Structure 1
Amino acid sequence: MISCYHPNITFEDPAFGVLIGENAKSMWQMLCDSQKGKNFRITYSNIKANLNDGEAQWEAHYTFSKTHRKVHNKINAQFKFKDGLIINHQDNFNLHTWAKQALGFKGLLIGSTGFFKKQLQMQTNKALRNYINKKAH
């Protein structure tokens, strides 16, 4: 993904919110690094694109590290292109479904709330900042 991204990439999804530029690229590195040697698997399908935009479906299969629960996340991706690269990438998935898989009963209860989404984005962005700072040293 990183090599497909324009330097001015804007990425958005329910878990991270909006990430711009190097933060979006670092997110992919962090996610892949955190799953090395684990049961991380990605599949994709229904790829459609023209010179201006595109879309795809992709699925992530992994074990959520905090709870050791299996997750199968189904994502719809939308892309805008500039200079032959992705300038805008928006991933959409059902956050409540993800929360039920990743967190179990707690996710079932609170996974559809705005409070949960805000807390999750705060946690994922903190983890991303820590990852970027660690990589810089």
Structure 2
Amino acid sequence: MANPNAELIERFYRAFQDVDAEAMAACYARDIRFEDPVFGVLRGREAGDMWRMLLARAEDFSLTYTDIKATGQTVTANCVATYRFSRTRRTVANEISSRFAIRDGEIVEQTDSFDLWRWSRQALGLKGWLLGGSSIMQNRIRGDARKGLAEFRRKSES
């Protein structure tokens, strides 16, 4: 018999491949805690709204995922999200390692890890190569992402 926690993460990634933010968000508990190097910590509906925003903007998007491993209520996996970054039109292949905590058949915590400097080199080009490793540039990337999410959420609520 397959592991139900691994099956949940498989369903989450299939929805991601299908550019289906609603199906991704449906895998989350209401009190989800999401964290990654760009958005920082997001809670509750904010995490689903991040996927809604990102996938609404997705262009030339594809996703591969591997190594789904479940141990008790914890699942780990790796994926590569490839897309055209909307601001610069540059192609990014972001290699992400994820850790999920599961409770009652829902994701209650997701922590995504990736190299923000590597991401910035792909997304921003020369500016990313030169400045992407600096805390000033990384904080600007984070600030822009949070600002974009807040704007998306404001428009969605209207």
User: Residue in 2 aligned with 1:11?
Assistant: 34
Aligned counterpart in structure 2 of residue 61 of structure 1, from 72, 79, 82: 82
User: Residue in 2 aligned with 1:27?
Assistant: 50
Q: Which amino acid aligns with 2:32?
A: I
User: Residue in 1 aligned with 2:131?
Assistant: 110
With structure 1 as the length reference, what TM-score do the two structures score? 0.94
User: Residue in 1 aligned with 2:67?
Assistant: 46
Q: Which amino acid aligns with 1:133?
A: R
Deviations 1:56-86 (A, max 9, x none): 0011111111111110000000111112211
- Percent of paired sites with the same residue: 39
In the alignment, the residues of structure 2 paired with residue 16 and residue 110 of structure 1 have an alpha-carbon distance, to the nearest angstrom, of 19
Q: Which amino acid aligns with 2:33?
A: T
Deviations 1:25-62 (A, max 9, x none): 10001111111xx3111111111114411110011111
Structure 2: 5+ residue stretches without partners? 1-23
Q: Does 1:124 align with 2:124?
A: no
- Give the Å deviation of 1:99: 0.5
Helix, strand or coil at the partner of 2:146: helix
Q: Which amino acid aligns with 2:36?
A: D
In the alignment, the residues of structure 2 paired with residue 116 and residue 129 of structure 1 have an alpha-carbon distance, to the nearest angstrom, of 20
- Give the Å deviation of 1:104: 0.7
User: Residue in 1 aligned with 2:115?
Assistant: 94
Q: Which protein has greater RCO, CA pairs closer than 8 Å, 6+ apart?
A: 1
Kindly report structure 1 stretches of 4+ aligned residues shifted beyond 6 Å.
Answer: none
Question: Which protein is richer in helix relative to its size?
Answer: 2
User: Residue in 2 aligned with 1:135?
Assistant: 156
- Give the Å deviation of 1:112: 1.2
In the alignment, the residues of structure 1 paired with residue 121 and residue 72 of structure 2 have an alpha-carbon distance, to the nearest angstrom, of 38
Structure 1: 5+ residue stretches without partners? none
Q: When the two structures are aligned, how many residues end up with a matched partner?
A: 135
In the alignment, the residues of structure 2 paired with residue 53 and residue 117 of structure 1 have an alpha-carbon distance, to the nearest angstrom, of 29
CA RMSD of aligned residues (A): 1.0
User: Residue in 1 aligned with 2:4?
Assistant: none
- Give the Å deviation of 1:96: 0.7
